[in-house]
Amino acid sequence: MLDILPQWMKDGIGDDLLFWLGYFTNGKHLTWYASVQYTLAAALFGALTALVMGLAGAALRNARFGPARLVGALYINMVRGVPDVLFFLFFPLAFEQLVELIRAQAVCTPEGLAANAGQWPPCDAANWFLGTPEYLALACVSLGIVYGAFAASVISGAMNAVPRGQLEAARAFGFSRAQVLWRFHIRQMWIYALPGLSNVWMLIIKATSLLSLLQIADIVLWADRLGAPNFTRSAGLVHPDWRWGYYLVLLVFYILVTFLSEKVFAAVTRWAGRGMSVANPA
Amino acid sequence: MKTLIIAAAALAMLATGAQAQTVRIATEGAYAPWNFLDDSGKPAGFEIDLGNELCARAALDCTFQTNEWDSIIPNLIAGNYDAIMAGMSITDERKQSIDFSDNYFPPDPSKYIVRAGTTLDFGALSGKSVGVQGATIQAAYAEATFGATNTIKAFGTADQALADLNAGNVDVILADGSYLSEIVAGSSGSLELTGPDVMIGGGVGVGLRKADDDLEGKLNAAIGEMKKDGSLDALIIKWFPDKAPGPIFAGG
């Protein structure tokens, strides 16, 4: 990695610093830096799923049809009480087994079923191998379902906060129900929902540190591996327990992400508040 | 939701179809010099060298992947990979759920490691904190021998156990002697071996699904060949210098 540096630069840096530069840019560390993609992907797609689930949940919660309202209320109230770690462990496993159960109906032969009697999957052909991309997708959906309930609660409250007079005026101008919903209700809802949604986003960011539970080699797992003491010369640099240093880097990383998120949300809030009668919170 | 399940199922079928030709070997990647991740982040070590040699001799196309130790047997049974080479001792308990190839490492004594200067009375150990890696032969032995009067702490990886020994959170660790000897040498005097050797386990072999008799036969043939021509001994001595000069398997 450092071979690309010209000799005069190497001389200027000095051997000690050069050694550490080399150590922190070896393949293991580069893999660690690259693994941030899983964290960011899980946060972005998890948040996107949560937003969709939140809008759907809020729509159900405020629906005119009684049973739909019940489903919405159940989703919001029950899923918010589920620990995210538990759901992270439960949902991917349950989904995998459900897919395998459905596939087993189609692909299993009687011999295959007999060979695997009392075991899972029902037969070898029905087995679904989960690699990192599959686990990442399931992690995003898990995050989306859990935090979608929070988002639904926030959005549902924000929908109710939009002044009735605005909607009545829109109807008086002859807009249809759907037009009132999309052009007035949802559009004015954002300014009330954003403070709450920014909170949910922070929770999702923090929950991405759970990815290693699903065997995804994310930044937390690599920090653990790289920081663990190594006394075996053949396995690389011999060093004592350095995990605190690596965890510290992660803490700084998460604080930086929080800081950047605040800036982005401030900008979005300014955008959502343009032309609104409420005082601009930003 | 329905289309999602169908799409996922279709994707999974494609994935299984494409992977059917190669033998996927799982290792822990945190148990040097048996298996570890080298500076480039790829699995390396004694078992990776051995596995590649066995596969070359058996004309198999092999890839290594890492899996955490405590789920390494369930994931083999679930079919996430086809074999385990992770310093796994052959025991009767494990044989109830998986099969093993012939051993490629002889039965090896487990040893106690402590911070330098610690003296322990292993005949009457009490009130101590004993560290082990969870779901290992040492964990079972420590629980049975010291569990009544001491605290047994099970760690996810052997590295984590060592980190806690170093930090003073456990008093002693019981682990494979083959794993500990290079650690003592590399700790520059801060850690040392103590107490009696403990003989448990029946050597180390490749873990396989019970139904995979064909793969087991091929691997056993390759292991037998490497034992006979001395190349297995040479590989063991390369990674475990304190086993020199042998012979270990060669010449009976």
Domain positions in chain A are 35-272
DSSP letter assigned to residue B22: S
Is there a single domain that holds both residue B96 and residue B134?
no
Is there a single domain that holds both residue B75 and residue B129?
no
Is there a single domain that holds both residue B139 and residue B217?
no
**pLDDT at residue A276, as a whole number:** 77
**pLDDT at residue B1, as a whole number:** 47
Q: How many domains does chain B have?
A: 2
Is there a single domain that holds both residue B60 and residue B136?
no
Mean pLDDT of A193-201: 95
CB pair distance less than 8 Å for B40 and A128: no
**pLDDT at residue B79, as a whole number:** 82
B35 part of a folded domain: yes
Has residue A208 got a pLDDT over 70?
yes
Q: For residue B131, what are the domain limits?
A: 110-198
A241 touching B (Cβ < 8 Å): yes
Has residue A251 got a pLDDT over 60?
yes
ipTM comes to 0.72
What is the C-alpha separation between B208 and A226, in angstroms, rounded? 30
Is there a single domain that holds both residue B14 and residue B96?
yes
**pLDDT at residue B182, as a whole number:** 87
Among residues B45, B51, B14, B16, which one has the least CA distance to residue B29? B45
CB pair distance less than 8 Å for A28 and B162: no
Q: What CATH class is the domain A35-272?
A: mainly alpha
B251 part of a folded domain: no
Question: What is the number of CB-based contacts under 8 A between chain A and chain B?
Answer: 108
CB pair distance less than 8 Å for A228 and B160: yes
Has residue A196 got a pLDDT over 90?
yes
B250 part of a folded domain: no
A105 touching B (Cβ < 8 Å): no
Closest residue in A to B18 (Cα) is A129
**Under 8 Å between Cβ of B138 and B176:** yes
Contacts of B33 in chain A (CB under 8 A): 232, 234-235
B51 part of a folded domain: yes
A4 touching B (Cβ < 8 Å): no
A31 touching B (Cβ < 8 Å): yes
**pLDDT at residue B18, as a whole number:** 41
- Partners of A230 in the β-ladder: A239
A30 touching B (Cβ < 8 Å): yes
Give whole-number Cα distances, B136 to A212, B141, B175, B189, B227, in Å.
Answer: 22, 9, 9, 27, 26
B248 part of a folded domain: no
**pLDDT at residue B20, as a whole number:** 39
Q: Where residue B207 sits, what CATH number does that domain have?
A: 3.40.190.10
**pLDDT at residue B252, as a whole number:** 55
B67 touching A (Cβ < 8 Å): yes
Contacts of A118 in chain B (CB under 8 A): none
The pLDDT-based confidence of A278 (bands split at 50, 70, 90) is: low
Helical pair A219-227 and A36-61, crossing angle rounded to 10 deg: 150
CB pair distance less than 8 Å for B183 and A99: no
**pLDDT at residue A10, as a whole number:** 80
Give the pTM. Answer: 0.80
**Under 8 Å between Cβ of B113 and B187:** no
Is there a single domain that holds both residue B101 and residue B141?
no
Is there a single domain that holds both residue B6 and residue B98?
yes
Is there a single domain that holds both residue B79 and residue B163?
no
Token duo for residue A29: 């560390």
Contacts of A233 in chain B (CB under 8 A): 182, 185-186
CB pair distance less than 8 Å for A115 and B68: no
B249 part of a folded domain: no
Contacts of A236 in chain B (CB under 8 A): 36, 38-39
Is there a single domain that holds both residue B102 and residue B210?
yes
The pLDDT-based confidence of A282 (bands split at 50, 70, 90) is: very low
B41 touching A (Cβ < 8 Å): yes
A244 touching B (Cβ < 8 Å): no
The pLDDT-based confidence of A277 (bands split at 50, 70, 90) is: low
Closest residue in B to A242 (Cα) is B163
Q: Is the dihedral of CA A120, A121, A124, A129 positive or negative?
A: negative
> Tell me: the pLDDT tens digits for A132-147?
899 999 999 999 999 9
Token duo for residue B58: 């058996």
Contacts of B116 in chain A (CB under 8 A): none
Closest residue in A to B42 (Cα) is A28
Q: Across chain A, what does the average pLDDT equal?
A: 89
pLDDT along chain B (252 residues), means of 10: 53 46 90 91 94 95 92 86 95 93 94 93 92 94 94 91 90 94 88 93 93 94 95 94 84 60
The pLDDT-based confidence of A232 (bands split at 50, 70, 90) is: confident
Is there a single domain that holds both residue B29 and residue B99?
yes
Contacts of A241 in chain B (CB under 8 A): 163, 166-167
CB pair distance less than 8 Å for A102 and B159: no
Give whole-number Cα distances, A68 to A149, A182, A277, in Å.
Answer: 15, 20, 32
Report the share of chain A in percent with pLDDT over 70: 98
Tell me the nearest-neighbour CA distance from A165 into chain B, angstroms. Answer: 38
Task: Give backbone dihedrals phi and psi of B89, rounded to 5 degrees, phi first.
Answer: -70, 145
Is there a single domain that holds both residue B90 and residue B115?
no
